[in-house]
Amino acid sequence: MIECIEKNDVLPVCPHCGQALHTVWCRALSSFFGKRYVYFCPECRKVLGVSHRKGFWMG
């Protein structure tokens, strides 16, 4: 198993524009069954990822 180490002294970098990510923007994507979120860079607005779908019974 690979060890996971929390690092609070470094900032992640956007893979698209190369800027340090002090914050990550998100936007809710709602549908009839569940809710998802899209996460994107505040500098270039390119998508960093999308959350997995959660059904209405999962919160």
Let me know if residue 59 belongs to a domain.
Answer: no
Across 14-32, average pLDDT: 93
Q: What is the pTM of this model?
A: 0.75
* 58 pLDDT above the threshold of 70: no
Classified as helix, coil or strand, 3 is coil
| Structural domain includes residue 41 | yes
**Beta bridge pairs of residue 38:** 27, 50
Mean pLDDT of 2-28: 96
pLDDT exceeds 90 at position 21: yes
Rg, C-alpha atoms of the chain: 15
Nearby residues of 52 by Cβ (< 8 Å), 6 or more positions away:
36
Pairwise CA distance, residues 15 & 50, whole Å = 15
| 37 contacts 27 by C-beta, under 8 angstroms | yes
Indicate if the pLDDT at residue 53 is higher than 80. no
Q: Is residue 58 part of a domain?
A: no
Domain with 15, as residue range(s), is: 11-53
Q: Residue 49: pLDDT above 60?
A: yes
Residue 56 is predicted with a pLDDT of: 59
Count the domains in the chain: 1
